Structure 1
Amino acid sequence: MKGILLLVLLIPIVVFSQSQQRTITGSVKDLATKQPVGYCSLIQQNANNGTVSNGKGNFKIDFAPNENNVVLVLQALGYEADTLQINSDQDHYTVLLKPRSVKLEEIVVTGTTRAALLRENPVSITLVAAKQIERAAAGNIIDVLVKNVPGLKAVKTGPNISKPFIHGLGYNRVLTLYDGVRQEGQQYGDEHGIEVDDYNIEKAEVIKGPASVLYGSDAIAGVISLFPHIPKQEDGSLHGKFTSEYQTNNNLTGDGMQLDYAGKHFLFALNGSYRMARNYRNPVDGRVYLTNFNVKNFSALAGYKSEKGYTHLNVTLYDNRQGIPDGSRDSLSRKFTKQVFEGDADDIVDRPIVSHKALGSYKVPDLSQHIQHYRAYLRSFYKIGNSNIDILLGGQQNIRREYTHPTAPKQAGMYMRLQTLNYGIRYNAPEFFHIETAIGINGMIQSNKNRDATDFPIPDYNLYDGGIYLYAKWKQNKWSISGGVRYDLRYVRWNDFYVGKNPATGFAKQLNSHSPNAELQFAAYEKLFYGISGSIGATFQATKNISLKANIGRAYRAPNLTEIGSNGLDPGAHIIYLGNRNFNPEFSLQEDLGIHLKFDEVSGGISLFNNNIQNYIYMSMAADASGNPVVDAQGNRTYQYLQSKAQLYGAEFWMAIRPQNLKGFCWDYSISIVYGFNRRKSFKRKGPEGEYLPLIPPKMLNSSISQEILPKSKYLVGLVPKFEIEYAATQNRYLGLNGTETATPSYILFNIGLTTQIKYKETKNVELVFKADNLFDRAYQSHLSRLKYFEYYTQTPNGRSGIYNMGRNFVVKMIVPF
């Protein structure tokens, strides 16, 4: 640790001792019209250095005078990506970009230690650009990514809670990063969403495959990296963006404001948003009680930059009040009911029906969850000669309250405070013999504390996590080979945890060991988990238009706290969890093969994966001696965690057709398939009775057709009508053991949309998005919807069980830059 601190202190000395710099200027123009191309990004290859052209197409970028073989990669929406070789005797350039409708060869930074072209990375990475996010209409940012990334799905608990799943794996197997900081907000929970501002995500990158080498535990299935807005226009002026939307199904209203400033050295940004929604509707259930919510966000950024690098200080505040659906209904009318009594006095059959006024209200009921997430972090990146260093230090606090007592609405059923310190440092060494090398350490220190609550799903605990890694990439001619190795340690401990009845309230409370009637709920625990991760992959540029990819990776994941420590009710999930303190870490070995095609009129790709997991941890419903689910008085089911060998394999195919003789026409098409098997010998050939893994998405097909129209109008810049189809096949491969899951019928959804841009300033356009999702109001249930299983009766008058997904939804969205 002393060595790290010394290195941090030496960075400013090294940086400022090299005062000389070389400045390159130039302009970016359209090859056909010679008009300026504004807001084109220019990224220096093999270095985290770049800039963006201003509204008039002009740019400026600095780098050290002793840097040789400098190449800039240019990318702009609607143009073919290009490169610019910097000559030693030329400091000003004019770059002409070729207009193009084919998808760009985007630059990605998440999957590697330095900026790299997408086609060079052996791991499957999908980038979702700002325009794709802005033009999407969905309940949250994860749902936006699901619509744009084949192979990415989400387990949902209503429209505002979506947990990402990659290749059939989710929860703590998919690591979510916010600006490089790992998201820590009790991800184990079914009803725990991602605590970010949906209006402040500028782009996202999705790694599909093991990424433990760079990120350690919890990246066994992949990584979702979310990037907030960073000011780029270095003109010393105030800029901003106003976003507003309305969705008819749940009457969602959302507004977001963004303000930023960037000069030569200093930059600032402020962001705020507010979203609220009523209960959503579908043709079977009407309005679904306890799915309304309101979310508030605020963030601030202050930064300093020079020719050698930058330092950013970021602060984010998140506040979410959300209903906790339980599926309680009247047995005959199927109308939703609400809990008004507790314990033995609470008879599910006699609960009162929720009023029409309450169903249509924006007011979140007393029985709800309140999540607050605070984040502050410092990021620094500086060049040291031909090398560079990246440093991250941050802290976050997640406060989760779940109010589940109707007779005492201010008494939290669950109340936990999770505090996390994140750290990381990476050194990218100078390139030698075409080899890029990086070495780094990262990890976290974590503490969880139960507060004034009545239910305790997990104990108070302390966690210490860290890993060291070495990563290298060799590139020459048509070959690019990359890989690395990592060693991780995670130490978890907690003390004896006692609970007992509070005589004043009648509820349970945490007690010390000497208190009368104290019962031991969590016995003391202490364990050190460790694991080695590694990967090696290659990309071969067979032709200018065809890339072949192969990768093999070993990933590691330590069990999360609910898997090893849970022993009680999680009131928000309406599940009693039973963990196993003898679990070992998961280790996966995944092989990936892929081919990437990019022609003038057609681009596409095929990827295959096979993943074998040792010590796979999964949930199975507990049953009594008669095989019936174990359920308490309030209808909460009991799930136990088990461990076994598992195998997942599947494929993805995507294609984009943009004929040059049909300018502006686009047809996107994708298919994703995942199979998951429990390889325990006793389950062999048992099918749904144990052989299949839970939460495996069915075969999915997504297709969209759009046509860009350029009207000859002074103010109407463009129109893009769009038609979409979403098809999910029947899922008969489910974990039916003890009623854990049931089969899910197929369904097909039709969506239409229209995006238009209206000029209101010379370089500013107002963007309007109109969308109709589930156009024909289809009644369906997603296999990954938790609400499908919120049912108290074995038989129903209409023959339908559980809660259905959202019905027809019209969306209007407006984005105004200024």
Structure 2
Amino acid sequence: MKHFLLALLLLLPAPRLRAQPTATLTGAVREAGSHRPVPFASVAVPGTATGATADADGHFSLPLPAGSKELTVSAVGYTSRRFPVPAAAGPVVLELTAAPAALTEVVVTGVSRATEVRRSPVPIATLSRREMSLNANTNVIDAAVRGIPGLSAVTTGPNVSKPFIRGLGYNRVLTLYNGLRQEGQQWGDEHGVEVDGYDIERVEVVKGPASLLYGSDAVAGVVNLLPALPSGAEGQLHGEALTEYQSNNGLIGNSLGLNYQRNGLQTSFRASHRLARDYRNRVDGLVYNTGFRELTLTGMVGVNKAWGSSHWYLTLYDNQQEIPDGSRDSLSRHFTRQVAESGLDDIKNRPLVTDSELRAYTIGPLHQRIRHYRVFTKTRVQLGGGELHLLLGAQQNSREEFNHPTAPTQAGLALRLTTYTYDVRYHLPTWNGLEISLGSNGMGQLNRHQNATDFPISDYDLLDAGGFLLLKKPLGKLELSGGLRADLRQVTWNDFYVAPNPATGFDGAARPGIPGAALQFPAFDRRYHGLSASAGASYAATERLTLRANLARGYRAPNIPEIGSNGLDPGAHIVYLGNRDFQPEFSWQQDVGVLWHQASLDASVEVFHNYVQNFIYQGRLLDANGQPVVIVPGNTTYQFQQSAAQLYGLEASLNWRPAALPWLVLTNSLAYVNGQNASASLREQQGGAARYLPLIPPLRGRAEVRATLPARTRRFASTYVRTTADGSARQTRFYALDNTETATAGYALLGLGAGTTWTTRAGRPLVQVTVQIDNVFDTAYQAHLNRLKYFEYYAASPNGRTGIYNPGRNVGLKLVVPF
């Protein structure tokens, strides 16, 4: 598959469409009032892949496809604006108003057409690459969590983060890469998203049911990771070289990006490599088996013309990720390593891990390897006065977990998931202000075990399709929107047998009738269907005050482990048991928001309530005596259960840029969610231990003070210093049944950062430098959604601390050389 996709990229024919007339728009972006340059502003044509980045003096050059009518201009610290394309030739001056936030930003995720953030009744948040680059992140989801209230992540070490929105995650949050749904065993805990974080230009997050546009698996929301677009003058090769280092785990990252555009032809390429050893904290020291090695390649070629645009993307992702298990010596608390198979393994007498092993960049024998390949095309065509959008994609995810110490090349888990995706939608011509969009999307999947010894799920086939209708109508200050959707999903698998394999000495997939063959997964064939709906409104009460509300019904079909699991997931150290009789989840969520926007102050409060019917969650399996069931020694056993649930909470933000101190920006955010089991019988178990839902993040707040220094010399631009404070309250509302979760102490983390751009005398950027120190005081803490918190083999420890702690102090240095 890998070689086929590489060949496909190399053999893609250059488009031979007759070039449409284009013009090059030149000009400068200035700050309104002071007329000072706005360095590195983004100038783009909405709804297309055409864009450019201004230089340190605010100058830009943008190729305009014929028929372009509008521009969007944005920059960090300024309110985004739309401008009509000037009729006359010659340089233009585009002015932006200083603002600490961007409530007027244009988004495309979760709405029928490009919409301003504050006019969307569905809560949507955005994060730019500039904001993400200010932090020392180990993956793109962690970067988004830092900047978007209501977004959190379940983590397993520094490079494994699963996005959660308002307390819901896994298959309830749909992750997109440039609009293509990410399909890679999302039900698993021990791997993240297969995307190059260096290539992401922007993150858009829909907070709330987005089933209307995307169908099942978007019942909690959507995270859309948007890659960078080609930028710069036509006919010239542009790009950047990036390198970074992080002290905590010795992370070394390098990336090279190239892009070129001329006469409507656009192409880009990026290669990135990251390498890290075990991370460190003050309690555990170096945490054994948390290193990783990651390689990504991304290519794009396309055309952007008056008739529309068409782009082809190809990505290749290869990650070797170590698997921690938390085993230690009971007295010294030094980490130990497994050297025998589970039947002969004595956890209390494993050998100690040496210092050289802890400090080495070598990937240990117990690790996983994830390879993800995707090829897809996005096409936009002007048709019949409207616009037709078409996305077609194919992707393959190969995931292997090597967990046999006596046979390090034998994978315990080996799954290959192949997915074919389509998405077609048509935006009808606007009629009396009414915007109508209709479309359909879906996918076909084949998941197959390869040469494996552990089988937590069966092989399966899945077919999914849905159709939708969306409406939007402005009525003066009031804007109404809503729609309907119907979905159908078919899941099937045949009888799946497992038998001892004499060649390997382990179990393996087998045909019926082979001696010792056991039927682990009886055949299954079921069809799920659901209706989704949404109705909302935004009201511009004044130029500064916007009110909005939305009511949405979301739908999610049970995922494969929930209905069919019956085996060990070795990386998670959990035996999962499913329930074949589960019904789909349906949610009713209400959102109400108040947004205030002015030149020096932005503020918002979003309140939500979500009631979920047939909510599916994991619970420890107990025997008749109330004792935990152990099917595989050293691993816990969980069985999926179903009940009603409700979640409610709020997100608030306050961002201030004092008019008397235009160089100073203060940003503050707060997020709270409470998730409760709505079943009265379950809530009463063990004195209310099952009252709360699992994996609910605690109250979390973040504050930042950033000062952008005036340019005293033309050789430096965008020089800033910043201080951040991240705080999480103590979490006492947790799923305590069978000790599945425990209370988590609160903590506060201080961060310091600085950066600048060194330019030529002509103002062209030479090097961008960013320095960030996270967890300045090396605070020992455990995040409530950190799975390593529960990696403990003893009831007590000599130092009174159990489980594995989050990373300690980290100093990050990043250098970017644009050209």
Note whether the superposition's TM-score is higher than 0.5: yes
Report if the CA contact (8 A) 1:39-1:52 is conserved.
no
Task: Give, in angstroms, the shift of residue 625 of structure 1.
Answer: 3.5
> Relative to 1, partners in 2 of residues 1:794 and 1:384: Cα closer, same or farther, differing over 3 Å?
same
Deviations 1:552-575 (A, max 9, x none): 000100111111110000011111
Cα distance in 2 between the residues matched to 1:546 and 1:585 = 39
Task: Give, in angstroms, the shift of residue 323 of structure 1.
Answer: 0.7
Task: Give, in angstroms, the shift of residue 796 of structure 1.
Answer: 1.4
Please name the residue that 2:749 is paired with.
Answer: 749
Please name the residue that 1:422 is paired with.
Answer: 421
Cα distance in 2 between the residues matched to 1:228 and 1:658 = 29
Please name the residue that 1:361 is paired with.
Answer: 360
Task: Give, in angstroms, the shift of residue 233 of structure 1.
Answer: 2.5
> 1:203-222 to 2 correspondence within 5 Å?
203-222=202-221
Report if the CA contact (8 A) 2:297-2:317 is conserved.
yes
Structure 2 counterpart of 1:551, which letter? N
> 1:97-496 to 2 correspondence within 5 Å?
97-104=95-102, 105-496=104-495
Report if the CA contact (8 A) 1:133-1:202 is conserved.
no
> 1:798-809 to 2 correspondence within 5 Å?
798-809=799-810
> 1:687-702 to 2 correspondence within 5 Å?
689-702=689-702
Report if the CA contact (8 A) 1:683-1:690 is conserved.
yes
Please name the residue that 2:505 is paired with.
Answer: 506
Deviations 1:298-343 (A, max 9, x none): 1111112211211111110000001111111111111111110113
> Relative to 1, partners in 2 of residues 1:17 and 1:274: Cα closer, same or farther, differing over 3 Å?
closer
Task: Give, in angstroms, the shift of residue 71 of structure 1.
Answer: 5.1
> Relative to 1, partners in 2 of residues 1:478 and 1:50: Cα closer, same or farther, differing over 3 Å?
farther
Deviations 1:604-623 (A, max 9, x none): 10000000000000001112
Task: Give, in angstroms, the shift of residue 197 of structure 1.
Answer: 0.6
Please name the residue that 1:8 is paired with.
Answer: none
Report if the CA contact (8 A) 2:231-2:238 is conserved.
no
Please name the residue that 1:7 is paired with.
Answer: none
Structure 1 counterpart of 2:778, which letter? D
Report if the CA contact (8 A) 1:629-1:739 is conserved.
no
Structure 2 counterpart of 1:160, which letter? N
Cα distance in 1 between the residues matched to 2:653 and 2:224 = 21
> Relative to 1, partners in 2 of residues 1:706 and 1:292: Cα closer, same or farther, differing over 3 Å?
same
Task: Give, in angstroms, the shift of residue 57 of structure 1.
Answer: 3.3
- 1:720 and 2:720 are equivalent in the alignment: yes
Please name the residue that 2:64 is paired with.
Answer: 61
Please name the residue that 1:782 is paired with.
Answer: 783
Deviations 1:456-500 (A, max 9, x none): 011000000010001111123211111111000000000000001
Structure 1 counterpart of 2:696, which letter? I
Task: Give, in angstroms, the shift of residue 766 of structure 1.
Answer: 1.7
Cα distance in 2 between the residues matched to 1:763 and 1:18 = 34
Deviations 1:66-101 (A, max 9, x none): xxxx554433445443333469x7677834404514
Please name the residue that 1:569 is paired with.
Answer: 568
Deviations 1:695-745 (A, max 9, x none): 000111111111111241232224211111111111111111111101111
Q: Secondary structure at the match of 1:438?
A: strand
Cα distance in 2 between the residues matched to 1:436 and 1:385 = 15
> Relative to 1, partners in 2 of residues 1:682 and 1:269: Cα closer, same or farther, differing over 3 Å?
same
Cα distance in 2 between the residues matched to 1:188 and 1:531 = 21
Cα distance in 2 between the residues matched to 1:362 and 1:60 = 45
What are the ranges of 5 or more consecutive residues in structure 1 without an aligned counterpart?
A: 1-14
Cα distance in 2 between the residues matched to 1:657 and 1:320 = 41
Report if the CA contact (8 A) 1:688-1:735 is conserved.
no
Cα distance in 2 between the residues matched to 1:287 and 1:681 = 44
Report if the CA contact (8 A) 2:309-2:379 is conserved.
yes
Report if the CA contact (8 A) 2:61-2:232 is conserved.
no
- 1:706 and 2:706 are equivalent in the alignment: yes
Structure 2 counterpart of 1:318, which letter? Y
Q: Secondary structure at the match of 1:339?
A: coil
Cα distance in 2 between the residues matched to 1:305 and 1:86 = 17
Cα distance in 1 between the residues matched to 2:657 and 2:34 = 21
Cα distance in 2 between the residues matched to 1:209 and 1:93 = 43
Task: Give, in angstroms, the shift of residue 358 of structure 1.
Answer: 0.5
Report if the CA contact (8 A) 1:700-1:726 is conserved.
yes
Please name the residue that 1:11 is paired with.
Answer: none
Report if the CA contact (8 A) 1:27-1:53 is conserved.
no
Task: Give, in angstroms, the shift of residue 523 of structure 1.
Answer: 0.3
Report if the CA contact (8 A) 2:20-2:65 is conserved.
no
Report if the CA contact (8 A) 1:577-1:638 is conserved.
yes
Structure 2 counterpart of 1:801, which letter? T
Q: Secondary structure at the match of 2:733?
A: coil
Structure 1 counterpart of 2:814, which letter? K
Q: Secondary structure at the match of 1:172?
A: helix
C-alpha RMSD over aligned residues = 2.2
Cα distance in 2 between the residues matched to 1:300 and 1:523 = 42
Report if the CA contact (8 A) 1:79-1:97 is conserved.
no
Please name the residue that 1:659 is paired with.
Answer: 658
Cα distance in 1 between the residues matched to 2:384 and 2:485 = 27
- 1:94 and 2:99 are equivalent in the alignment: no
Per mean C-alpha deviation after superposition, the further-off stretch among 543-552 and 338-347 is: 338-347
Report if the CA contact (8 A) 1:28-1:53 is conserved.
no
Per mean C-alpha deviation after superposition, the further-off stretch among 661-670 and 217-226 is: 661-670
How many equivalent residue pairs?
798
Deviations 1:426-481 (A, max 9, x none): 11100001011111111110000001110001100000001000111112321111
Per mean C-alpha deviation after superposition, the further-off stretch among 415-424 and 753-762 is: 753-762
Report if the CA contact (8 A) 2:99-2:598 is conserved.
no
Task: Give, in angstroms, the shift of residue 351 of structure 1.
Answer: 0.7
Please name the residue that 2:9 is paired with.
Answer: none
Task: Give, in angstroms, the shift of residue 663 of structure 1.
Answer: 2.0
> Relative to 1, partners in 2 of residues 1:16 and 1:113: Cα closer, same or farther, differing over 3 Å?
farther
> 1:629-644 to 2 correspondence within 5 Å?
629-631=628-630, 634-644=633-643
Structure 1 counterpart of 2:809, which letter? R
Cα distance in 2 between the residues matched to 1:17 and 1:416 = 41
Please name the residue that 1:769 is paired with.
Answer: 770
Cα distance in 2 between the residues matched to 1:49 and 1:811 = 32
Structure 2 counterpart of 1:411, which letter? Q
Cα distance in 2 between the residues matched to 1:723 and 1:688 = 41
> Relative to 1, partners in 2 of residues 1:35 and 1:263: Cα closer, same or farther, differing over 3 Å?
farther
Deviations 1:147-195 (A, max 9, x none): 0000100000000000000000000000000011000000000112100
Please name the residue that 1:614 is paired with.
Answer: 613
Q: Secondary structure at the match of 1:127?
A: strand
Cα distance in 1 between the residues matched to 2:202 and 2:342 = 48
Q: Secondary structure at the match of 2:343?
A: helix
> Relative to 1, partners in 2 of residues 1:322 and 1:53: Cα closer, same or farther, differing over 3 Å?
closer
Structure 1 counterpart of 2:741, which letter? E
Cα distance in 1 between the residues matched to 2:96 and 2:392 = 41
Q: Secondary structure at the match of 1:564?
A: helix
Cα distance in 2 between the residues matched to 1:345 and 1:270 = 49
What are the ranges of 5 or more consecutive residues in structure 2 without an aligned counterpart?
A: 1-14
After TM superposition, the score normalised by the length of structure 2 is 0.94
Structure 2 counterpart of 1:655, which letter? L
Q: Secondary structure at the match of 1:57?
A: strand
Structure 2 counterpart of 1:222, which letter? G
Deviations 1:334-388 (A, max 9, x none): 1111110113321111111111110111111111001000011111111125311
